[in-house]
Structure 1
Amino acid sequence: MRVGAPAKINLTLRVAARGEDGYHRLSTVFHAVSLGDRMRLTDRPGRISVVTRGEHARHVADDETNLAVRAARAVRDRFGGPRMGAHLEIEKDIPVAGGMAGGSADCAAALVGAVRLWGLDVGDAELFELAAELGSDVPFALLGGTALGAG
Structure 2
Amino acid sequence: MSRRLKAYLISILLIMAVSPPSHGLSLGGLSIGQVEINGIARCSLNGDPNAPPISNGTVILTCGGLTANLAETLTQPNGFFLMFLSFLQTLLFTPSSCYITINLPAGNCSIYSPDGVLSAVLTLASVAVGNNTNVASFVAGPMLDNIF
More helix as a share of residues: 1
Normalization by structure 2: what TM-score?
A: 0.31
Normalization by structure 1: what TM-score?
A: 0.30
Q: Which protein has greater RCO, CA pairs closer than 8 Å, 6+ apart?
A: 1
